Every structure is written in C-alpha cells, then in structure tokens.
C-alpha cells in the first residue's frame, strides 16, 4: 500500500475542519449567486424532482459556463419539467434544445438515463451517490456526489475542477492534479471536509469559492473566507523561507503530493503555483470540406440541404451541410474534386468541381480537435432527387436551419 501523505497535506485537526466549514458556509450564505437550480432544489418538496433538477444542471454545467447554462436549463425545465416528460421526448427534440451547448452526447445520455429511471426504477431516482453512479448511465462520481448531497442530503464530498484548485491551494498540493494518486487524495479530503448537517450547501460553497474567489489566474485571497486555513496563501505571505514548520516543503524529496523537485515554488506565481497539471496533448488538426447547397424553395425562399451525422462519435445525430474530412496538404483543386464526388453521391447527378464556389474557411475548436471547415457553396437550378439509401437529409429555410439540431460550428459555417 502507498505510504500515507505527510500530515501537512491533510486536514487532520478536527477543530480546523470545523472552523473551515463554519467560515465557508457563512460566506456562502452571504454571497452565493442566485441560480435557478439552487432555488428549485431548496424549495421543491418532491425528492425526485429535486434530484432531476440538480442532475440536469450538473450535466449542463460540465464543460460549460454558468452564464450560458442558465438559459438552456430554464428552457429544458420548461419543456421537460419531470423525468417522465424527458423520458417521452425524442432524441431529435433533445438535440434541438441542446444545440449550441456543445458535447452533445451529454443530452443524449441524460435522456437515456431518464428512460431507464422510468422503465426500470419505477420513476424513482436512486438516493445515494453509490447507486446514482452505478445505476444511471452518464452519471460519474462527481455528478452522483452532487445530486446525492444537494438533493438528498447525503454527507458525501465532490471533486470538480474548482474543488481541485481550492484544495490544492489550501494544502499546497503541487503534484500533477490530474494524476489518479492526487485525485484519490482530493476525494478523501472532500469527504473529510464536507459538512455533516449541510452537505449540499457545503459542496456548492466549495465550488462557488473556486468559481468566484479562488479563480485560476488572479485569486482574491484577501477576500477569501478560508484564507486562514490556506497554506498557499501563508506561503505567499511568508515568502520562500517560511518561518513555521508546517508550511515548509515535506523535504524528503519523494512526497507524492509536493511539486516535483525540478519545478519548485516560483515566488512570482504566488498561490497560483497550485494546482499543477501535466502538459496537455496538442489538439488533433483536421480539415473538412463542407458545401452549402442552395435551391429555390416552393415559396420562393432559398432552402439549404442538411444531412444527419452518424448516431455515434463526434456530434452524433446532429445535422450539418454535406461535409467530407480531407487529408492534410491536399491541393485546392483536389479538395474540390473530392467534394464534388461526395456531393454527387448525395444528389445522384454529376457535380462539376468548377461549379463549387469557394466561400472561405471557418475554424472551430472542439475540446481535442482543431477543425478547419473549407466552405463552398453551390446553387442548384432545377429539381434534385436525393438518394434515400444515404443518411437522412432534408431541405430547410434559414429559420428552420437555426431551429434544427445543428452544432455551433455549422452555424458559423
Ligand atoms: Fe484560494 Fe487564496 Fe483562498 Fe487560498 S487564500 S483558498 S489561494 S483564494
């Protein structure tokens, strides 16, 4: 078994833990942001509805800013106020409402899990973090802990990006914060710290602190309600040679939680020495040719062809202009020819590469892909019969396009 971490990285003094809880909760009561899912979780008497509301908000908040989520959350809860309503929705409706929020598989999995609760669990949400994680597809350790503590009062901790930052600073944890060894320690710590009588508020307070005070670049340490418990802050105040023993490095050189000896404390960074992460892999670079096919619709307004992506993989099930991934370093002429061949398959009639009009390039960054869309347009005169054996496709007006389940990247195109 690995050796336990040195005491300076732990919260081992019960009096300190109690004081930290008190200070953090008092701050939260004074300063918390009004967010629609918090209001609902605090006022809704039905436990399943509370769980559902927190679940929807937590899934939307993964990888997405609070300010963006509010609008989507309100629309979602208006359309599907209960698990039962969501279970009856079609995937197409879910994708339409999710359009623009990114990471589309989240919406799909939420809906699949709602169906499972209705069909296999008699419409009753599991009540503990362990069961939530075990029984609901798409619900990981963090989401399960958030739902169980906020909706059902289970005294269980949570660890998300904000909590990682706060805890690493509170306890000067400078080893790679994405490594399983550090993540496991942070979960242990979150479970020790969580307030037994107000676990949901405590977890939200810790995350709120990370989102509004202990922010990545310029944390507001002077206003921080837990600064007296923060070793990074003390170390910044006392400089490189700390006068008290508990803020020194562990000193043995093989501490699993201290910064690596090759990258010691940088006094110009202050508390932002923590957390530290191993360098990210650079994103994959991709080029995709895409063609906006236009025709005059029966009412005279222009219409555009959109086709549906496969039901798995990136942007699964969303609609897009006919598109074709390109090999790197293709000559422009070759790109056109390949796109023309691709379009020919859709339309069942020859497409002249020269007829494709180059419009420009659109760059869109997915989390792990740097995508460049090379955009062409083609105006079609006369009727076109689309091959029904290919993926689903349809003609839409501009308004219909915007109301469809299309990605932000396609809207840019
Ligand atoms: Fe974060 Fe500064 Fe507060 Fe420490 S004192 S928890 S670094 S905001």
- CATH value at residue 372: 3.90.79.10
Q: What is the DSSP string of 274-306?
A: -SB-PPPPPPEEEEEEEEEEEEE-TTSSEEEEE
Mark which of 246, 273, 300 sits at the end of a domain.
273
Question: Is 411 domain-assigned?
Answer: no
Same domain, residue pair 56 and 108: yes
Q: What is the count of structural domains for the chain?
A: 2
Contact 322, 346 (CB under 8 A): yes
CA of 62 to the centre of ligand 1 (A): 23
CATH number of the domain encompassing residue 38: 1.10.340.30
Range of the domain at 335: 284-403
All residue ranges of the chain with pLDDT < 50 are 241-247
* 93 & 62 share domain: yes
For residue 255, tell me if it sits in a domain.
yes
35 and 129 part of one domain: yes
In a domain? residue 1: no
Does 412 map to a domain?
no
- 225 and 305 both lie in a single domain: no
Q: At what angle do helices 66-79 and 91-98 cross, to 10 degrees?
A: 150
Cα distances (Å, whole numbers) of residue 52 to 82, 84, 146, 222, 412: 7, 10, 12, 37, 33
Residues 168 and 236 in one domain: yes
Whether residues 140 and 91 fall in one domain? yes
pLDDT digits (tens, 9 = 90+) for 385-407: 777 777 788 899 999 999 999 99
Ligand 1 site, CB within 6 A: 166, 169-170, 213-214, 219, 221, 224, 226-227, 230, 232-233, 271
Q: pLDDT (tens digit, 9 = 90+) per residue, 20-39?
A: 999 999 999 999 999 999 88
Q: Domain ends where: 273, 308, 343?
A: 273
How many angstroms does the Cα of residue 234 sit away from the middle of ligand 1?
10
Euclidean distance between CA atoms 124 and 83, whole angstroms: 9
Model confidence pLDDT, tens digit, residues 224-261: 999 999 999 998 887 654 444 344 556 555 778 888 87
For residue 260, what pLDDT is reported? 81
Give pLDDT, residue 35: 93
Q: What is the pTM of this model?
A: 0.78
Domain shared by 42 and 120, yes or no: yes
Residue ending a domain, among 236, 253, 273, is 273
How many angstroms separate the alpha carbon of residue 167 from the centre of ligand 1? 9
Rounded Cα distance between 126 and 124, Å, is 6
Q: Which residues are the active-site residues?
A: 58
For residue 114, being part of any structural domain is answered with yes
Residues 383 and 246 in one domain: no
Cβ burial of 123 (10 Å; 0-12, 13-18, 19+) is middle
- Residue 366 in any domain: the answer is yes
Query: Do 238 and 356 fall within a single domain?
Result: no
Q: How far apart are CA 277 and CA 263, in angstroms?
A: 12
Q: Label the pairing between strands 357-365 and 323-326.
A: unpaired
State whether 254 and 298 are in the same domain: no
Instruction: State whether 230 and 312 are in the same domain.
Output: no
From atom 1 of ligand 1, which residue's Cα is the shortest distance away? 214
Q: Is residue 2 part of a domain?
A: no
| Ligand 1 atom nearest residue 220's Cα | 8
Same domain, 330 and 242: no
Query: Is 332 part of a structural domain of the chain?
Result: yes
pLDDT at 1: 54
């Amino acid at each position: 078994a690995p050796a336990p971490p040195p005491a300076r990285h732990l919260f081992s003094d019960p009096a300190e833990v109690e004081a930290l809880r008190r200070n953090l909760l008092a701050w939260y009561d004074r300063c918390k942001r009004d967010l629609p899912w918090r209001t609902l979780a605090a006022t809704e008497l039905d436990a399943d509805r509370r769980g559902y509301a927190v679940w929807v908000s937590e899934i939307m908040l993964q990888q997405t800013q609070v300010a963006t989520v509010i609008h989507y959350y309100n629309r979602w809860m208006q359309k599907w106020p209960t698990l039962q309503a969501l279970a009856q929705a079609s995937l197409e409706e879910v994708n339409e409402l999710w359009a623009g929020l990114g990471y589309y598989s989240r919406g799909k999995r939420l809906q699949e899990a709602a169906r499972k609760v209705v069909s296999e669990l008699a419409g009753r949400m599991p009540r503990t973090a362990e069961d939530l994680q075990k029984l609901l597809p798409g619900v990981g350790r963090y989401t399960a802990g958030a739902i169980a503590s906020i909706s059902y009062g289970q005294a269980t901790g949570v660890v998300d990006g904000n909590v990682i930052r706060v805890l690493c600073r509170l306890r000067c944890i400078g080893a790679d914060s994405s490594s399983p060894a550090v993540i496991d320690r942070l979960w242990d710590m979150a479970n020790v710290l969580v307030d037994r009588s107000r676990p949901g508020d405590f977890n939200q307070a810790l995350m709120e602190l990370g989102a509004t005070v202990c922010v990545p670049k310029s944390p507001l340490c002077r206003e921080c309600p837990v600064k007296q418990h923060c070793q990074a802050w003390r170390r910044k105040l006392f400089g490189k040679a700390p006068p008290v023993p508990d803020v020194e490095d562990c000193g043995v050189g093989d501490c699993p939680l201290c910064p690596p000896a090759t990258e010691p404390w940088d006094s110009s960074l202050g508390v932002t020495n923590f957390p530290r992460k191993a360098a990210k892999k650079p994103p994959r670079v991709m080029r995709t040719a895409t063609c906006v096919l236009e025709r005059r619709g029966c009412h005279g307004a222009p219409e555009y062809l959109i086709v549906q992506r496969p039901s798995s993989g990136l942007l699964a099930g969303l609609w897009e202009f006919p598109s074709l991934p390109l090999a790197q370093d293709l000559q422009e002429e070759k790109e056109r020819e390949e796109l023309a061949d691709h379009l020919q398959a859709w339309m069942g009639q020859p497409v002249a590469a020269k007829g494709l009009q180059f419009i420009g390039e659109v760059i869109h960054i997915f989390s792990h892909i740097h995508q460049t869309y090379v955009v062409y347009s083609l105006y079609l005169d006369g009727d076109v019969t689309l091959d029904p054996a290919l993926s689903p496709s349809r003609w839409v007006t501009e308004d219909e396009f915007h109301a469809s389940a299309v990605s932000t990247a396609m809207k840019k195109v």
